Chain A
Amino acid sequence: MSVLLVLALIITQLGIFTATAGSEGRNSSEGSSDSISCVEKAKNAQYWITLDDSDIICTAGSDDMQINGNAPECQMDAAFVGAGESVLVSVNVPSAGDYAIVLVYQTIGNIIVQSSIGVNAGNRQIKSYINGVWCDESKDYLLDRYNNEVTPSQEKVDVFVKDYVRDCTTLDFEPVSFTLSAGEQVITIENNDQDIYLQSVLLTKVPQIVDYRTYSASFDGSTSSQPIIIEGEDYLAKSDSYVRTKADINPSCYPYSSFQKLLNAVDYYSWKTAGQRVVWQFEARETGWYHIAFHYTQSQKEGQAVYRNIEIDGKCLFREMNEVGFDYTGSDFANKILTVDGQPAKIYLAEGVHTISLFTSVPSVAQVIGKINTIRNELSEIGLDLQQVAGANADPNRTWDIETYIPGITDHLRDLQKRLLEVFDELSAMSGSSAASCANLKQAAGIIGESLKRPDKLPTYVNQLSVGSGSATDMLAQLVNSINEQGMSLDRIYLYGDNYDLPNGQAGFWKSLWHGIQRFIHSLMNREGAYGVSSAGANEKNAITVWVNRPISYVETLQVMTDSTFTPKTGIKVYFSVMPDEGKLLLANASDTCPDVALGVTGDRPYQLGARGAAYDLTAFDDFSDYIYENFETYDLEPFVYDGSIYGIPETKNFYVLMYRTDIMDKLELDIPNTWEDVANMMPVLRRSGMTFYMPLSSATGTKPLATIAPFFLQNGADLYSKDGMSTALNSENGIAAFKRLTDLYTLYSVQNNAPSFYNNFRYGVMPIGVAGFSSYVEMIYAAPEIAGKWAIAPAPGTLQPDGTINRQQVSVDRSDLIMKSTTKPDQSWEFMKWWMSEETQVEFAYTLQTKYGSEYVWNSANKHAFNQMSFPKSDRDVIMEQWQESANYRTMPATYMLERELSNAWYNVVNNHISPRTALNEAVFTINQETAIRMQQFGYIDEDGNVIKKYDMRSAAEILEEVKNR
């Protein structure tokens, strides 16, 4: 036993030694030694595309532009084009022909949402991305407290980007060719999402690319003897902020250490959509020919390749550098050598600085995808038609003379089936083998064939054809999504001559084994569970411990931000830990190992801890009310109020909006509902087509959250509690009416009372309309590409008030922050909390999260100024802000959990067991009052006989804040 231990120690020491000796550690002399910052470097470099002067046909500057008939405002010679504006650019076309358009622009501000513009010229209308130029803040990566390198923050580089107009809706990212006739022509550019400076619009020849043979004949010379190695993580710039580096745990990567995480590759997860361009800069020390090889891994698409175009100095040198396929490698890394006809290809580089850039553009695949999408759209049209004939659940015993209802439907289906099989042949020819995922096409065709066997029963096939998971349209959507994913991780690029030995793509067996052993032993001796809960700061004088109920990516970002901003400013050190289970707070309290601050806890936790004396009364801080007035809506503090004190502050905020499928609403000729009565009125039409309305209440399993029921009470002006707080007021006349309105939707109008996934049902069109919260909204924006552009949002339905207005209040409580009572450093803790929830930090945090991890990492800050700056698409933004004005919160009371539970039970009793709402509510009220009495007695408000000893403080958060301010 002891022998083993000694052996382990020796091995680990050896390992640490070799790691620091740095055979594969980061080579610090590269990159970091020069003093020019990454941003400066990125500014100076030539990237994106280069144009020869001879290619440019004509140039239109800001003088040739018009916005709304006026000359645009100019700055730096460039026209300012605001979001939502469109520019008319007049160009002088010398002769009729095909041209490519190049835009020179710069994005303003740091909006992270993928922005697009519409370009209208000649015969075509194209939607094209506009990119910012982004780079890492620094290549001297910060280390976290476990010595792991942390993904660097992202900086936007303010330079003008020169790029072709490319169609961003497909995988075909080649420059679009516009056919223009001779003479004065007007190009219309609609700027959709983001303010830009538009410097000029160039008309160029459509790029013509030579083939390899022609290319290689045009230069002389021998291959270089000086290999160039470019590290994937050392990119100069990129088009998206969230293309990021990651630390791949694989000994074949460079740099690699068994003992710490070193950033070593571009992460496939962040680099997978067409048009994401990454640029590296390198220096050739010798003029000559170079082979190109890539050390990469592609683990996502078995049997299929992902594609990249390679450009040197902003230009494609020969045709074979386009659509380079990177095959599936499994979890291993491999080398991909650029070849032409099986022979390694060479490129000619002059001595000096160059750039190499990679992006995805696969016109051939894009065409196939286009075909599949057309088929899918036609099929869902047919599905909708069929649904209108007999609903989604047609009687299987009935037959229809379907051609009289929908003329030509069988021929149409037969045609679709034929086209699907054609696409299948095309796609399998392309990938060489018939990849597993292409089978979806065959299956979809099979489903159509099946349905065609009994045309008289076609309406019964709606589910298989177009509704729900596993239907033909769903399979096609899945296929398209999977083809569109073009993710690969890139560790290194090699440029080398004939006599260079390319390092192996995979680490050898012994090396892997050795690293495996090192990692294993290291894991025994070290805290592999990074950011595990600890009370690290307890013994330091000026340090606080913070537990966060969020995933590690959030905590890591938070730690870096704190270390770089908060600690230098205040001198207070902060130790963060991930707290996956809030129950730990209670246990820690019992064992006296509490943190000073807890972040991201559920909304009722501050109250529950506060009422029992475990949370710190925040009103004790002098500047509390000023801070709140400045940063929050006072009603957001309502849940944290107990006995004239406030025990927490809100951290994030939810919102509910009405989401609807525009295509289906149009087809059914339905208006967007404003009130619950409107919703009730549209139900018959929806039900006839086998569809239904979604309510957040329906997807909650078990106990229905109060936040999903309370809006009905709030909108109807019904209080949840009596004036003295000693009982509930649910069964007031207003309350009963509110509850009845809610349950009627289910019992009379058949809103589906169980809907596990709105996300899926919305995509399938089963629930084409519904009230959905923040997370559903984000999901739909970022994870449902197949319905992009087919849905919209509106304010949530409300209740008509006597004065004719509509009350659309929704509950907004989400996560919260609190300080523990046991803290010995309340002032430092409050200082930290003030910094954390300040506008500046919140905006910065939201921004860092999105730039680092992807735009789906939306941070719904409860800070009112920060919420205002959230990056949503422009059109949705107004709706969300309108709904945001209508947020409200109910106060927490000693027995709120019982109110929630009994309301939920009452709902079940009405909907499942057909008890009248009034009876169900009265029963609930009895139990709630009983529980309230027990709690009130425990907290010392009433004595054993039920007499009130002390008045329960029913003041609202606003009143308490006012009182604290005047204290």
Chain B
Amino acid sequence: MKLKNLFSTVRRLGNSYSHWVMLLPYLLLFLAFILLPILLAVGLSFTNFDSVKIDSFMALENYIRAFTKDTVFMQKILPNTILYAVIVGPGGYLLSFVMAWILSQLTKVPRTILAVILYMPSLISGVAVSTIWAVTFAGDRTGYLNTLLIQWGVITEPITWLQSTDYLMPIMIFVALWSSMGIGFLSMLSGILNVDREQYEAGLIDGISNRVQEVIYITIPNIRSQMLFGAVMAVVNTFNTTGLGVALSGSNPTPDYAGSLIVNHIDDVGFIRYEMGYAAALSVVLLVIVWVFNKLSYKLFGDSD
């Protein structure tokens, strides 16, 4: 009788808590590698930790400094980041969608080949930046672009593209767009391919007369979730881009901060100026910005129900 009782207790407990057991591995990892660091960063952002010692509690002073005293942050970094994000985020996103749609119109073999080709840049971009683009935009006569322009008589003296305050940002945007056909693109492609063909036929009967209407009334509503995923990835990626400007120009900060984004600035403040507390505050600001844009993506593409 008692034994039976015990069994039922165990079963009852098992029934009500088993999902926790299942969740445990993920929870532990999430706690250790995501939640804890974020909490630590938030905690540090209220101090003046200089990577050696913590002198005093600063309350919100770090945040106030970011928006009132840090001229570089407000004049250069934030505008750079927003410009970059506004063009590369939606731009890359649109490009991904258009490319995915065009590819979906092809037959299987060329589609697969082209998909791989388009996807490739996002995989190799780290290496490619230093090999392909640094050579293309090299600042002496041997750089590809300089050589071509000199040959065509457009310029007479080589332009130092990657150290120039005028050209660095456009080049960064160009390279980012080139490598933007990433995982979001793949998910949209699979989404489009999985749309039920019968819907298009039904649409045709219902009076759809061209491809644009097909895309707007059938394709997009069908792949909402993939588009949401793509949008989230695009937002997160653009704000978290670190290496591009630094890899292209050769140093952090980039010349006159022309290509410095917020993550570069955090790096600069934390590891070059030893102001970990302030760097932590800036990363919290970054976290908030990314969060806001994610909310926006959900508003646009999330399920309304």
Contact = CB atoms under 8 A, between A and B. Distances in A.
A897 B50 CA distance: 16
A614 interface: yes
A912 B141 CA distance: 16
B140 interface: yes
Contact of A612 (B53, B151, B164): B53
A591 to B, nearest CB: 11
Interface stretch (A137-145, A194-202, A750-758): A750-758
A469 to B, nearest CB: 7
A218 interface: no
A702 B250 contact: yes
A297 to B, nearest CB: 30
Nearest to A908: B255
Interface stretch (B79-87, B221-229, B271-279): B271-279
B52 A589 contact: yes
Contact of A701 (B162, B253, B272, B274): B162
Interface string B133-172: 0000011111000000011000001101011111000000
A583 interface: yes
Most buried by A among B51, B138, B165: B51
A905 interface: yes
B251 interface: yes
Question: A interface, how many residues as a size bin?
Answer: 20 to 34
Given A590-B51, A613-B52, A908-B256, A702 B163 contact: yes
B104 interface: no
A278 to B, nearest CB: 40
B52 A754 contact: no
B165 A701 contact: no
A469 B142 contact: yes
B150 A912 contact: no
Interface string B229-256: 0000000000000000010011111111
A904 B163 CA distance: 11
A905 B51 contact: no
Contacts of A897: 272-273
Interface string A716-760: 000000000000000000000000000000000010111110000
Contacts of B271: 583, 586
Most buried by A among B52, B151, B158, B165: B52
Contacts of A586: 51-52, 271, 274
Contacts of A181: none
Counting chain B CB atoms within 10 Å of each CB, which of A589, A701, A930 scores highest? A701
B219 interface: no
Tier of interface size on chain B:
20 to 34
Contacts of A700: 250
B53 A702 contact: no
A754 B250 contact: no
Interface string B262-298: 0000000001111000000000000000000000000
Given A701-B251, A752-B140, A612 B163 contact: no
B52 to A, nearest CB: 4
B187 interface: no
Given A589-B52, A755-B140, A938-B48, A912 B253 contact: no
Contacts of B48: 938
Contact of A702 (B138, B157, B251, B274): B251
Interface string A921-944: 000000100100000001000000
A390 to B, nearest CB: 14
B274 A608 contact: yes
User: Which residue among A589, A750, A755, A905 has the maximum number of chain B CB atoms within 10 Å of its CB?
Assistant: A905
B51 A703 contact: no
Contacts of A590: 51-52
B163 A701 contact: yes
B157 to A, nearest CB: 8
Contact of A396 (B151, B246, B254, B274): B151
A595 B225 CA distance: 52
Nearest to B69: A934
Given A701-B251, A905-B255, A754 B273 contact: no
A469 B250 CA distance: 23
A913 B53 contact: no
Contacts of B141: 393
A315 interface: no
Contacts of B255: 702-703, 904-905, 908
A703 B140 contact: no
Given A396-B151, A612-B50, A612-B52, A701 B249 contact: yes
A796 B256 CA distance: 30
B130 to A, nearest CB: 11
**Which of B166, B249, B250, B256: most chain A Cβ within 10 A?**
B256
B159 to A, nearest CB: 9
B163 A908 contact: yes
Contacts of B166: 912
A205 interface: no
Contacts of B151: 396
Contacts of A701: 162-163, 249-251
A702 B249 contact: yes
A904 B252 CA distance: 12
A614 B52 contact: yes
Nearest to B254: A702
A324 to B, nearest CB: 41
Nearest to A612: B52
A727 B239 CA distance: 36
Contacts of A171: none
B251 A756 contact: no
Nearest to B273: A897
Contacts of A612: 50-53, 274
Contacts of A608: 274
A285 interface: no
B16 to A, nearest CB: 32
A263 interface: no
A468 interface: yes
Contacts of A753: 139, 160
B127 to A, nearest CB: 17
Contacts of B157: 750
Nearest to A821: B52
Nearest to B55: A938
A912 B160 contact: yes
Contacts of A901: 253
A912 B164 contact: yes
Contact of B163 (A583, A750, A754, A755): A754
Contacts of A703: 251, 253, 255
A80 B300 CA distance: 91
A751 to B, nearest CB: 12
A65 interface: no
A225 B216 CA distance: 91
Most chain A CB atoms below 10 A, which of B48, B151, B250: B250
B256 A905 contact: yes
B211 to A, nearest CB: 47
A609 B163 contact: no
A461 B26 CA distance: 65
Nearest to B249: A702
B52 A609 contact: yes
Contacts of B138: 754, 756
A662 interface: no
A879 B168 CA distance: 41
16 contacts: A583-B271, A589-B51, A590-B51, A609-B52, A612-B51, A612-B52, A701-B163, A701-B250, A702-B249, A702-B254, A752-B158, A754-B160, A756-B138, A901-B253, A908-B256, A912-B166
- Identify the 9 closest CB pairs spanning chains A and B, nearest first: A702-B251, A701-B250, A754-B139, A702-B250, A612-B52, A703-B251, A614-B52, A754-B160, A905-B256
Interface of A: 393, 396, 468-469, 583, 586, 589-590, 608-609, 612-614, 700-703, 750, 752-756, 897, 901, 904-905, 908-909, 912-913, 927, 930, 938
Given A703-B255, A904-B255, 12 more contacts: A393-B150, A469-B142, A589-B52, A609-B52, A755-B140, A756-B139, A756-B140, A897-B273, A908-B165, A909-B256, A912-B166, A930-B71
